[in-house]
A and B are shown apart, each in its own frame.
Chain A
Amino acid sequence: MPQTQNIIRPWTGIREQLRQRPRVSAAVVLVTACILGAGAYFLLAPHLWAQYHWWEAQRFLKNYQFPEAIRQFQSCLQVWPRSAATYFQLGRAERRQGNMVNARQHLQKAYGLRYPLEDLQLEFNLIEAQTGDVQAVERKLTDYLAEGHPDELLIYEALVKGYWHHSFFVEAYHWATLWIQRLPKDWYAYYMRALVLERGQNFRKAVDDFAQVLELKPDHFDARLHLADMLVHVKRLAEALEHYNFYLQQRPDSPYAGLGRGRCLMLLGHDAEARSVFENVLTRPGADRDPSLADGFRMYGQLEWQQDKPAAALPLLRKAVALDPTNAQANRFLAAVLRSTGQDAEAQRCEDKAQIVDRTYIRLDQIVAELGQIGPILNEAAKNRAVLLRYEAGSSLLRIGHDEDGIGWLISASQLDPAHEPTKKALKDYYNEKGPLLERVKPQ
């Protein structure tokens, strides 16, 4: 080739030379590929990996799988430690999972990294809706809905959770129904409404909604367990047993499902099978220290007592009462066994305790029913009555040692009427005695 052309197009010469030297060209190609590969690995791959986790998180959020979504967002933060959007989404997922402390931390981080204020403001409103004074926030959230806010489903969800958390069952049901009307195929809306109905002791409707959840999402284990429990309440024992059996096929180690099955078998008169279930569940390591298994020990003890074996029944019933001193049935059966062995004084104490608890829960049922009849608070008289009922529920539960539920009812009373003196006093006395915080007393 003439030299002038070489000067003008030197790369042609190089290409020609490479073609004539295949090994050199292969080496050049290999080295270039290695450099590019290393560059891609160190520079691009982490971001692609983080993006994958971001997409996975969005997928989990769509399916309402908040713990999994949280893990995915945390993976994103390893690569994007200053991503305001990731902190915001993580905060939102924590809020929906119910971890308000974590939610606030992450949202403040997003604020510090200058995430848009409107979205942040909505999130803080939703936090207060879920755990704070839901009625105060409802007005603001209703305004958002009226404007057609793009996050309206999150608003419905937060309102339902907030009202449910504070035992405002009528309001929670109302918002859950609006949510379902908006998205009739959303299983989570049915699930939330079913939980509200369950807590509001409307078991028949709760059965329908849990069944609907399983219709839309057959692999929802929690819904199946709840449905089974509700079916026991409405005495559809055979159906309940089917659901417990199905659940145990998938999760054989679940003590709660095991006890549910045992309860069904006992109520159906299959005592031997029931006994075998109780033996299996209640002899596992740690079972004798688990308060949630108290009723299991009670049922097992009851079976033994009904088989005329007081010596076997007594330790089981004592265990039940030790794990849950306010279990009325356990106290009643223990009293019966104690009387049969001549321990009348202790028996009387157990009976008295059982009576107090029974009266409390009977009255609580009446309160819930009356609150349901009052419905949404439309006038001062209704409000005053609702406050009194909620105060009564809260103070009764505190008297029998059900502190968390009791405080929840008292807080709901103070939300309706922050100036209600007996409620204020009850809350103040509780926190002065049990803890240093005036944390849940609303500022006046």
Chain B
Amino acid sequence: MSQLRARESRGKARLLVAVGVLGGAFAIAAACWWGYSMLAGYVAWQQALNDYEQDDMVEAKRHLQQCVASWPNDAEARFYLARACRRTADISGKEHLEAAMRLGWPKDAINLEQELIEAQFRDVREVETALYSLLQVGHYDEINIMEALAQGFLREHLLTSLVKCAGIWSEKYPKDWRPKYYWGYAYEMGNNQERAISRYQAVLELKPDQLETRRRLGTLLRRNGQPREAFVHLQYCHERQPNSAEVVMELARCLLMLARSDEARALLAKWMQEHGDDDPAALETRAEVEIEASGPAAAIPWLRRAEQKMPQDHRVVSLLARALRETGQKEEAEKYELRRDEVEKLLRKLDDIFAELLNDPDNVDRRFEAGTISMRLGRTREGVRWFMSVLQLEANHPATHRALAEYYESIGDKAKARNHRDTAEGKKRAFVH
């Protein structure tokens, strides 16, 4: 009997030991996992802070996402992730902002971030006064405020407001390249090439590796008849962004202006080989090169292919008219010349509208007209932006909703098309997406 009890108790002891060991191992494993996730979160957080300091929002977002994966209930990490999402134009930031609010992040900061989202992505005029009031009394987040305002003004083509905002920003932070970039952009959009060039040059003095600025400056210099200066900037961009279509096209045009058509042809041929020969801009640029290098007959096939993609592009239509005329195809040339004249008329009208809007930015009719003309010219993205800017001012503008319904129908987005049609017919309240 006693032996049995002894065996039983030994058995129980072994069981207890086994449970204890397992429990201990489990606890250690849990502790290790917790420690690892804390450490991983901490490392990601530190990296994100470094990225914020360097103003590298793409990397900051990536590290913050890692951080939030380890620290899902950290309000600060959520808030900064929401901000990084906004600054990288990622709308998923909204959920992180809501999470930060739930986790108790200060309401003032949340409200400000919501206003910045409104300024940057929706209706800058709605929050312009409130944000400028903050700037007027001083705010530690003034750079973020000015940046969001600038992006909002740019999106809604409020160029005078953009110049003013960039001016204030540049005065407060003269060593910051960003306001000078927005300034230059505003002048470029307003067709003030000289001032745009001067601003872009100021950007490059502060940040020589700002590729977007270099590309824009190169393009402007080329259009301004300064191909040698343009070449320096475009070549710099091409060495660092060899796959950028915009850079390649501009560089090719620049080489053409420098009477280096063989190099231009080789550059385009290489690019088309690597990226396909269907790109409309590449086809048009190739045609330009062929006209100069081999004559109009060689350019026509390229132009016809480009015309299929961009039937209302001014450059394509003009070159085709010229090539057909020079190869003796008079009847067809006349048709294209008429079309070219029509397109030029529309472009001049668009320039006049831009000039009018500088002094009268809230003119709904002009904005609608700009949208309509852009659509007729095949510039659909620009056209949709103009139409959206009309709806910011007048959410129920029927003609705009009809135009948008037509557009969405043409690209197969039936849901959006129906929404706009219903709004145009007064069947539902306006919305802006």
Contacts and interface: CB of A to CB of B under 8 A. Distances in A.
Chains A and B are bound partners: yes
Interface of A: 100-101, 104-105, 107-108, 111-112, 114, 117, 120-121, 123-129, 132-133, 136-137, 140, 436-443
Contacts of A128: 136-138
Which 4 interchain pairs have the tightest Cβ spacing? A124-B138, A128-B138, A439-B171, A443-B132
Contacts of A442: 136
Contacts of B135: 443
Contacts of A136: 133, 136-137
Contacts of A133: 136-137
A120 B142 CA distance: 12
6 contacts: A121-B140, A128-B138, A140-B137, A441-B164, A442-B136, A443-B136
Interface in B126-176: 132-133, 135-140, 142-143, 163-165, 167-168, 170-175
Interface in B326-349: none
B175 A120 contact: no
B173 A117 contact: no
Contacts of B136: 128, 132-133, 136-137, 442-443
Given A101-B174, A104-B172, A107-B140, 13 more contacts: A105-B173, A105-B175, A111-B140, A112-B49, A124-B140, A137-B136, A137-B137, A436-B167, A436-B195, A437-B167, A439-B168, A441-B164, A441-B167
Contacts of B195: 436
Contact of B138 (A101, A108, A125, A439): A125
A438 B140 contact: no
A79 B198 CA distance: 39
B167 A121 contact: no
Contact of B170 (A120, A121, A129, A437): A437
Contact of A117 (B132, B140, B170, B172): B140
Contacts of B171: 437, 439-440
A284 to B, nearest CB: 34
A439 to B, nearest CB: 4
Interface centre among A111, A129, A140, A443 (most CB of B within 10 A): A443
B53 interface: yes
B52 interface: yes
A104 B173 contact: yes
A121 B174 CA distance: 21
Contacts of B167: 436-439, 441
Contacts of B163: 438
Contacts of A441: 164, 167
Contact of B142 (A124, A126, A129): A124
A111 B142 CA distance: 11
B143 A438 contact: no
B138 A132 contact: yes
B140 A120 contact: yes
A440 B164 CA distance: 10
Given A112-B52, A112-B53, A439 B139 contact: no
Contacts of A132: 136, 138
Nearest to B140: A120
Given A112-B53, A436-B195, A126 B138 contact: yes
Contact of A121 (B49, B52, B139, B168): B139
Contacts of A112: 49, 52-53
Nearest to A102: B175
B414 to A, nearest CB: 43
Interface string B188-202: 000000010010000
Nearest to A133: B136
Nearest to A111: B140
A133 B132 CA distance: 12
A104 B175 CA distance: 11
B313 to A, nearest CB: 34
Contacts of A120: 140
A129 B168 CA distance: 16
A127 B164 contact: no
